Amino acid sequence: MEQKKKELLVLEDILGSNKKIAGQIRKKLDEHGILAVNLLSAPGSGKTSLLEKIGLELKDNYRLGVIEGDIETERDADRIRKIGLPAWQITTHGACHLEARMLAKIFDQIPADLNFLFIENVGNLVCPASFDLGEGLRFVLLSVPEGDDKPKKYPEAFITSQVLVLTKCDLLPYLPFDTDRVIKEALEINPHLKVFKTSATTGEGLDELCAFLEEELKLRLSQHA
């Protein structure tokens, strides 16, 4: 039998299935008036510690929930439950990032009356940046011990985020970390980044960060009303 070769123009987004599910999640979140925040950083930059502090500060006035993404263990979710907040652990069993379909699987368990849903991504400054989870805001965290050269070395995380949170600022006196350089370079690759200097240890910057979150929630509620 004769074989015929032909070319087939496809033009299909390989990340399309993730984007589609993320879009569905975003729509539901908007309908419920939930502000979801996706937190990205290298392992150990202080994501869970920051969430513990923000949680304590906001929990009397708002309904909060936390999704914890880790490769293995329930440890981070347990830390969040200890401060009295509902937490859902997603273990990726090896995968280096959260994907929208992983969230979709547990989405039914999330109460529709939440105000804030924090999503702690797997500790990794590279891969999570490529996967939309349907979040309303993306935070990238950079801790002082990691060094001040990171924004241009890991540009995607900084380009796709709306907020840069410098963490562990209590360590500034002990480490050669040029805060101005980091902020300058981060703004060069993303001029719209909002920057917060924080410490979970001393509490520095947490009031400002929480006030910002409250403002963002209000803004969204008025837009989607």
Ligand X SMILES: Nc1nc2c(ncn2[C@@H]2O[C@H](COP(=O)(O)OP(=O)(O)OP(=O)(O)O)[C@@H](O)[C@H]2O)c(=O)[nH]1
Q: Nearest-CB residue to Mg ion? A: 48
Residue 18 or 49: which CB sits closer to another protein?
18
Q: Cα dist. 215→100, 138, 198 in Å?
A: 26, 15, 18
How far is Cα 189 from Cα 39, in angstroms, rounded to an integer?
19
How far is Cα 199 from Cα 209, in angstroms, rounded to an integer?
11
Q: How many CB atoms lie within 10 A of CB 204?
A: 16
Based on the shown chain and the rule CB under 8 A, indicate whether residue 180 belongs to the binding site for another protein. no
CB of 44 vs Mg ion, minimal distance in Å:
8
Q: Could you say which of Mg ion, ligand X, another protein, none residue 167 binds, taking C-beta under 5 to 8 angstroms by partner kind?
A: ligand X
Q: Could you say which of another protein, ligand X, Mg ion, none residue 41 binds, taking C-beta under 5 to 8 angstroms by partner kind?
A: ligand X
> Of 54-113, which residues contact another protein (CB under 8 A)?
95-97, 99
Among 172, 194, 201, 214, binds ligand X (CB under 6 A): 201
Residues with Cβ within 8 Å of 9's Cβ and at least 6 positions away in sequence, in order, are none
The two structure tokens encoding residue 88: 């859902």
Whether 165 and 139 have beta carbons less than 8 Å apart is answered as: yes
> Of 78-97, which residues contact ligand X (CB under 6 A)?
none
The two structure tokens encoding residue 63: 């309904």
CB of 89 vs another protein, minimal distance in Å:
20
Residue 18 or 161: which CB sits closer to another protein?
18
User: Which of 224, 198, 223, 191 is CA-nearest to residue 212?
Assistant: 198
Based on the shown chain and the rule CB under 6 A, indicate whether residue 123 belongs to the binding site for ligand X. yes
Query: Per-residue contact track with ligand X, 20 to 49, x per CB under 6 A?
Result: ---------------------x-xxxxxxx
Among 127, 171, 183, 195, binds another protein (CB under 8 A): 127
CB of 154 vs another protein, minimal distance in Å:
10
Residue 71 or 171: which CB sits closer to another protein?
71
Sequence-ordered alpha helix ranges (H) in 33-149: 47-58, 75-82, 100-106
Whether 169 and 75 have beta carbons less than 8 Å apart is answered as: no
How far is Cα 44 from Cα 55, in angstroms, rounded to an integer?
18
Q: Could you say which of Mg ion, another protein, ligand X, none residue 168 binds, taking C-beta under 5 to 8 angstroms by partner kind?
A: ligand X
Q: Cα dist. 6→2, 10, 52, 56 in Å?
A: 13, 13, 58, 62
Residues at the interface with ligand X (CB under 6 A)? 41, 43-49, 76, 123, 167-168, 170-171, 199-201
